[in-house]
A and B are shown apart, each in its own frame.
Chain A
């Protein structure tokens, strides 16, 4: 019996495309909890996360042949999840109107040391978990993906389809906001 669970996401995607559709379950198992956690950060408690997560995986399956196997599956999955959540929030009129965003308009300098790490990313993510929901959507999403999902600026840039410098500036601003509003973070920075 083959052990497909040891294969990479991209290898499994290739096999699913070639017709081994049951292997899709491995990808769902690997990412279901992550996508649920991601969705929970943007949806209210009353909304059915399971339905939305199911829709996200169905979209992944339907569009599987548009996936470029040279790219990373997780980034592509989060991109689909991002679009699905944005569409869901737009339907519920919970998404602000897309006005011109200065963060996207102009270039910004960002430090090579992503987010200027003062402490371990995992420790920081635990501290901000309770406060991150207080942030606006545009700051909440990059800081969540960076600290809780441990994605790089480049990956977040591809998910949100914004320049890398915009991701950097949003995370920096989000941290500044959390420093002034989040009790756990205030304790660290005094």
Chain B
């Protein structure tokens, strides 16, 4: 009985081969499969790069990136305001990339931690390079209402959380007015407790991040930081926005 079993399997398989029930897949099938796998890996890697650079852009454009500069009181809001959904999506995609890459022997022959470190380093460095290109500022500026785009929605929501990024329009006696990404003007009040972090006097057209609380339509600043990142001219300063309303202008510079 046992001796007959192997023959039975051989015969069954050979019968299927001879009758054409089973056929060899052509070489082109495997070549296409490999090309497809590489293409999927490329798309996933590109998505990770895009998302990380988007995280950097959103953090900088919203001002959250600079919160740690305001010291310990700003650390709590900083951690809370990090885009955790995007960060989780990047983590999940890195795992997907690792799983896809594991089909290649140079990946599975080494401990997982090595390939994870290499993937994380590559995507992080790629994202840093991408962050220095005008990719996101260009996409953002090309949209009619970018803050309604799900990618950039968080930027417009940071004001409700006490973070204001904008360009100084005018210096006032008790503060200054900034123009935000949403083209709105906000009056910032400063006092002796406000922490200033900038090298020179605050001037018109300076980019600033303000960490503070809203008080009767104005913002009482806990901290003001002058920034000089690659989004310095973003959005472009628009001096011709029409007549400004608000308290009288006092001077061009706010001394430290």
For the complex, what is the distance from the CA of A123 to the CA of B18, rounded to whole Å?
A: 43
Q: Which chain B residues lie closer than 8 Å to A107 at the CB level?
A: 110-111, 113-114
* B122 at interface, CB cutoff 8 A: no
Closest residue of chain B to A26 (Cβ to Cβ) is B10
Say if the beta carbon of A66 comes within 8 Å of chain B: yes
Q: Are A50 and B9 in contact (CB under 8 A)?
A: yes
In the complex, the chain B residue whose C-beta lies closest to that of A165 is B111
Which applies to chain A's interface (DSSP): helix, strand, loop or mixed? helix
The 0/1 profile, CB within 8 Å of A marked 1, for residues 163-199 of chain B is 0000000000000000000000000000000000000
Query: CB distance B17 to A21 under 8 Å?
Result: yes
Q: Contact between B6 and A29 (Cβ–Cβ < 8 Å)?
A: yes
CB distance from A175 to the nearest CB of B (A): 21
Which parts of A50-79 form the interface with B (CB within 8 Å)? 50, 53-54, 57-58, 61-66
List the B residue with the shortest CB-CB distance to A57.
B13
Give Cα distance in the complex from A24 to B13, angstroms.
9
Complex interface residues of chain B between 91 and 148 (CB less than 8 A to chain A): 102, 105, 108-114
Assembly CA distance A65 to B94 (angstroms): 31
Q: Please pick, from A54, A158, A163, the residue contacting B13 in the complex, using a CB distance under 8 A.
A: A54
Which residues in A have their C-beta under 8 angstroms from that of B8? Answer: 50
A176 within 8 A of B: no
Is B112 within 8 A of A104, CB to CB?
yes
Question: Chain B at the A interface: mostly helix, strand, loop or mixed?
Answer: helix
A108 CA to B27 CA, complexed, in Å: 38
User: What are the interface flags for A100-135 relative to B under an 8 Å C-beta threshold, 1 for contact and 0 otherwise?
Assistant: 000011111000000000000000000000000000
Q: B9's contact among A17, A53, A158, A163, by CB below 8 Å, is which?
A: A53
Give Cα distance in the complex from A106 to B23, angstroms: 41
User: Chain B: how many interface residues by the 8 Å CB criterion?
Assistant: 28
In whole angstroms, what is the CA distance A54 to B15 when docked?
12
Q: What B residues does A61 contact at CB under 8 A?
A: 13, 17, 22, 24
Q: Is A63 within 8 A of B12, CB to CB?
A: no
Chain B nearest CB, measured from A111 CB (Å): 17
Q: A50 to chain B: which residues have CB within 8 Å? A: 5, 8-9
The residues of B that contact A33 with a CB separation of less than 8 Å are: 6
Beta-carbon contact of A58 and B25 below 8 Å: no
Q: Which residues of A1-33 are within 8 A (CB) of B?
A: 17, 21-22, 24-25, 28-29, 32-33
A87 at the interface (CB under 8 A from B): no
A105 engages B112 (CB within 8 Å): yes
A163-B108 in contact given A29-B10, A54-B13, A66-B30 (Cβ < 8 Å) = yes
Closest to B104 in A: A161
Residues of B within 8 A of A (CB): 5-6, 8-10, 12-14, 16-18, 22-27, 29-30, 102, 105, 108-114
Q: Which residues of A contact B (CB under 8 A)?
A: 17, 21-22, 24-25, 28-29, 32-33, 50, 53-54, 57-58, 61-66, 104-108, 157-158, 161-166
Q: Sort A-B residue pairs by CB-CB distance and give the 10 closest, nearest first.
A: A66-B30, A161-B108, A107-B111, A105-B112, A65-B27, A32-B6, A25-B10, A28-B10, A104-B112, A21-B17
Q: What are some 24 contacts across the A-B interface (CB < 8 A)? A: A24-B13, A28-B9, A29-B6, A29-B10, A32-B10, A50-B9, A57-B9, A57-B13, A61-B22, A61-B24, A62-B22, A62-B24, A63-B30, A64-B24, A65-B29, A65-B30, A104-B112, A106-B113, A107-B113, A108-B111, A157-B109, A163-B108, A163-B109, A164-B109
* Given contact pairs A24-B17, A32-B6, A58-B13, a sample of 9 additional A-B residue pairs in the complex whose CB atoms are under 8 Å apart: A21-B17, A50-B9, A63-B25, A66-B27, A104-B111, A106-B112, A161-B102, A162-B108, A163-B109
